[in-house]
Amino acid sequence: MVGIIDEAQLFYPLGTRIKIANNYGTVKYVGEVSGHMGTWLGIEWDDGMRGKHNGMVDGKRYFQTQMPTAGSFIRPGKLGPCATLEDEARERYLNYDSKNVDTSLIREAQASMQASLFEVVGMDKIARKQSKFEQLTEMSVDETPVNAAGYLKDLTQLTTLNVSHTLIWNWEIVASITQQLPMLNSLNLGSNRLVLPTETQISELAPAFRHLKHINLGNCGFTDWQDVMQTALLWPDIESLGLQENALSQLDVVDCNRIFRQLRELDLHRTKLMDFDQVCKLGNIRTLSVLNLMENGIEQLQLPDCEPQAKLNMFVSLEQLSLMQNPIWNETEAFNELDKLPQLKRLNKTPHLKSSFDEMFSKAVASIAGIQFINKAKVSAEERRGAEYDIWKKYALDWLQATKLGADALRDFYKKHRTYLLIVNKYGSPADFVPRIQAKQSNLIKVRIQHRLTGEVWEKKVPRMITVQTLQGLVMKRFHIAGDTPHLCYIDAKHPELVVQLENNAKTLDFYSVQEHDTVLVE
């Protein structure tokens, strides 16, 4: 019996990854189970609902799982054979026919060409390319029973490797792969569970990762940021790191002399980050330019305080930030906070439930001085002018009151509206708008409607709450316009150099701040 147990422990050391059907797990115990014959493997399943207990059976603790029903016992004989990366790669890329062309490459080809399977031409050419084993530059063996390297030195051109959803379970295995692939710069280890490296292992294995630039550790079971920082000692000069779908709710300041020395891209989407204060702890990573925080529970953005016209000495290289699918409740405050970041140029964000993309776009452009793209939409000079003009008028009364109350009040105003001083310097004092805002009593305003092509002018009293779409209908009828709906914009009577586009047909004239005697241009 002892010999059998020793043999099982030899083949399945603690931490070994196993797979049955589509279920992945980690070996947490090898040995006998009271009341049952033979040797058993205690498994903690990745799917916390897959097991029957938490490692305790009949009052005896054999191992501990994170979830109460993630554990179960299985016989070693129930497990299938494992494989080396070499074997799986040769099986996938050499033994090809029209039925076993790498589906990963097919998906990539479809995505790049936006084509369906039946529209992809020349798949036999892809298959022939795959067969040139030594010339491969990209390889994927995801969802295979790989748990060892094998001989890989023939792959002298390989730059990208996907070993996600495999049975790789420690960094010694990973190092035995990477040290044979001198051209490798991108490695996907997603959905594996890797044993935390010791200090000795870090010292011995780190040279094997020096040539890597991109590592994906998405859904690798990290729950403690300290474990991430310890693992990162293996590759301190990594440029791109994926940590998506790891349950990391707490972060910590990193020592950038030891890790993340050249980190440019960090993916933390769907990581259970709910407090933006945790994100701020990463602000000392001075090389970070792209940060993905999609699908977390962030409700409010709060950065450290700074003077209204100053920028923070944190996230000094951050140019792109993704906040898509976060329940941020106050967009105006959030955008004002983001203006504190010195280099922010690209922002991805889902509009608030009570907002729309156009409204969010306008707020962001007016509130973040250096922003150039919102959700990949480039901000034009005309859109920037319109957004700045709206905020210029919107806060005119607040600004005027602050100027009368003194320097402290004005400073507080500029803290809440960081770009307003820049807008005032650009367009001048908004004081002219204050009496008009205070005098808003009538629901009707008299505007000049001018047909640009014919020069014909129509003076008309219209409701402030009339929509752009309704006004377009009146204009088409008045000027006998057939065919396409005309485009409208307006010129402010007191500031004729400013032309504001009436782009959203569902919005009202009041939304666009159209006032008495303004001129609506029909194009």
**Helix (H) or strand (E) segment spanning residue 389:** helix 381-394
Across the range 4-28, mean pLDDT stands at 82
Given this model, what pLDDT does residue 498 score? 79
Q: What percent of the chain has pLDDT over 70?
A: 89
Residue type, 55: G
| Phi, psi at 453, each rounded to 5° | -70, -45
Query: Model's pTM, two decimal places?
Result: 0.77
Q: What pLDDT sits at residue 127?
A: 53
DSSP class of residue 53 equals B
| CA 267 – CA 293 distance, rounded (Å) | 7
pLDDT-derived band of residue 287, with 50, 70 and 90 as boundaries?
very high
Q: What is the pLDDT of residue 483?
A: 86
β-strand partners of 447: 460
Q: Is the dihedral of CA 111, 112, 115, 120 positive or negative?
A: negative
Q: Where are the alpha helices (DSSP H) in 419-501?
A: 420-427, 433-438, 468-478
Summarised one tens digit per residue, pLDDT across range 317-351 is 999 999 999 999 999 999 999 999 999 999 999 99
320-322: strand order across its sheet: 138-140, 160-162, 186-188, 214-216, 240-242, 265-267, 290-292, 320-322, 346-348, 373-374, 377-378
424 closest CA partner among 301, 308, 302: 308
Q: Which pLDDT score, from 0 to 100, does residue 120 have? A: 43
- 322 SS3 class: strand
Q: Are 243 and 268 in contact (CB under 8 A)?
A: yes
pLDDT bucket at 38, cuts 50 / 70 / 90: confident
Q: What is the pLDDT of residue 503?
A: 83
- Please check the confidence at residue 1 and state whether its pLDDT lies above 50: no
- Reduced to 3 DSSP states, what percent helix, strand and coil does the chain have, rounded to the nearest 5? 30, 20, 50
For 472-521, how does the pLDDT look when each residue is reduced to its tens digit (9 = 90+)? 999 999 999 888 899 999 998 877 877 888 888 888 888 888 888 899 99
- Here the tokens at position 40 are 């058993």
**Alpha carbons 373 and 347: distance in angstroms, whole number:** 6
Q: How far apart are CA 464 and CA 48, in angstroms?
A: 58
Instruction: Kindly give the interhelix angle for 123-131 and 103-113, rounded to the nearest 10 degrees.
Output: 130
Secondary structure of 142-204 in HEC code, one letter for each residue: CCCCEEECCCCCCCCCCCEEECCCCCCCCHHHHHHHHCCCCCCCEEECCCCCCCCCCHHHHHH
Average pLDDT over residues 8-30: 87
For the residues 213-233, what does the mean pLDDT come to?
97
Q: Which residue has the higher pLDDT, 309 or 494?
A: 309
* Listed range (10-19, 49-58, 220-229, 395-404) with the worst mean pLDDT: 10-19
Check residue 274 and give its pLDDT: 95
CA distance 462 to 455: 20
Task: Assess contact for 268 and 291: CB atoms under 8 A.
Answer: yes
Q: Mean pLDDT across the stretch 411-418? A: 96
User: How high is the mean pLDDT of the chain?
Assistant: 89
Residue 177 has pLDDT above 70, yes or no: yes
484's CB contacts (< 8 A; 6+ apart) are none
Mean pLDDT (whole number) for 296-318: 96
Q: Would you say residue 95 has pLDDT above 80? A: no
Place of tokens 């009151």: 401
- pLDDT score, position 184: 97
pLDDT given for residue 449 in this prediction: 94
- Residue for token pair 């369906």: 116
- Domain architecture of the chain: domains with CATH: 7-78 (2.30.30.190), 83-96+124-382 (3.80.10.10), 444-522 (3.10.20.90)
The mean pLDDT value for 425-445 works out to: 72
Work out the average pLDDT over 439-467: 86
Q: What is the rounded average pLDDT of the residues 195-211?
A: 97
Average pLDDT over residues 421-440: 74
What is the percent of the chain where pLDDT is above 90? 70
The answer to whether residue 442 scores a pLDDT higher than 80 is: no
pLDDT at 423: 94
